[in-house]
Amino acid sequence: MAQSMLLYWSSGSPPCWRVMIALEEKQLQGYKHKHLSFDKNEHKCAEVKALNPRVQVPTFKHGDLVVNESFAACLYLESAFKSQGSRLIPDDPAEQALVYQRMLETNNLQQKMYDVAFYEWYVPEGERHESALKRNKESLIAELKLWDGYLEKMGKGSYLAGKNFTMADVVCFPVIAFFPRLHCPPERCPRLMEYYKMLKDRPSIKASWPLEWLEKPEGEDTFKNL
């Protein structure tokens, strides 16, 4: 089954990583894949362009079906292989609602993380201002406090949407993993750091860990003074 799948991906990309975690959780190891370098602009290649009008990764193909957005690819895998591997979307509507809410809220956390971690990459040198970066950091700190509160409310040992590992964890963990890597002070988001430690050795996450993170476990100290 997995042999009819093809994933174009880049290492260290949260959207790519979440699709890879979903594939592992649904026991779809053995899928075909092509690792493309962001630094070399390989993700802009003709193969990806032919399948994805936005020329982005992840680009996922299963037989003749192409699914380009990472959330869509993850949800497709859960729907197509519902009875296989981990159950990532619960049946109960109220539980589903919380899973979907946390999934979509991940976009806020990811963007605020990008706004600080990649500020110099996004903003040309002549347009950078300390005041703007300070606002970005304040916004990120508030977002971290919000997520810490979610976990605090649900209790120790909880996942993002309850007592079970769900699609909310699949899509959000790759974003949360940037904080310890970039030296975010643990006291800034203690519940998220507990959550990170609880999940980092999960088989699906270890199997899909970013290649350059394996080669260089420590990242820049971008969040050291957050």
Q: Do 33 and 11 sit in the same domain of this protein?
A: yes
Indicate the burial class of 221 (C-beta count within 10 angstroms; 0-12, 13-18, 19 or more): exposed
Residue 185 token pair: 């002070």
If one counts the domains in the chain, the total is: 2
Strand order in the sheet with 59-62: 32-35, 5-9, 59-62, 65-67
Q: How does DSSP assign 89-147, residue by residue? A: S-SSHHHHHHHHHHHHHHHHHHHHHHHHHTHHHHS-GGG--HHHHHHHHHHHHHHHHHH
Q: Are 201 and 137 part of one and the same domain?
A: yes
pLDDT at residue number 123:
79
Tokens of 46: 């003709």
Residue 32, phi then psi, degrees to nearest 5: -75, 150
138's CB contacts (< 8 A; 6+ apart) are none
Same domain, 118 and 165: yes
Judge if 48 and 139 occupy the same domain. Answer: no
Where does the chain show beta strands of DSSP type E? 5-9, 32-35, 59-62, 65-67
Beta bridge partners of 66: 61
- The C-alpha atoms of residue 189 and residue 193 are separated, in whole angstroms, by 6
**pLDDT score recorded for residue 121:** 75
pLDDT given at position 49: 95
In a domain? residue 99: yes
Identify whether residues 76 and 106 lie together within a single domain: no
Residues 206 and 110 both lie in one domain: yes
Q: Assess whether 111 and 26 both reside in one domain.
A: no
Please check whether residue 87 lies inside any domain of the structure: no
Find the domain containing 47 and state its range: 2-80
Please say whether the beta carbons of 99 and 178 come within 8 A: no
On whether residue 44 sits in a domain, the answer given is: yes
Q: Give the pLDDT of the chain (226 residues) as one tens digit per residue.
A: 789 999 999 999 999 999 999 999 999 999 999 999 988 989 899 999 999 999 999 999 999 999 999 999 999 999 999 999 999 999 999 999 999 999 999 999 999 999 999 988 777 888 889 889 999 999 999 999 999 999 999 999 999 999 999 999 999 999 999 999 999 999 999 999 999 999 999 999 999 999 999 999 889 999 999 9
Q: Does 224 reside within a domain? A: no
Instruction: Flag whether 220 is in a domain.
Output: no
Residue 157: inside a domain, yes or no?
yes
Instruction: State the amino acid at position 72 in one-letter form.
Output: A
Tell whether 100 and 204 lie within a shared domain.
yes
CATH at 67? 3.40.30.10
What is residue 2's predicted lDDT score, i.e. its pLDDT? 87
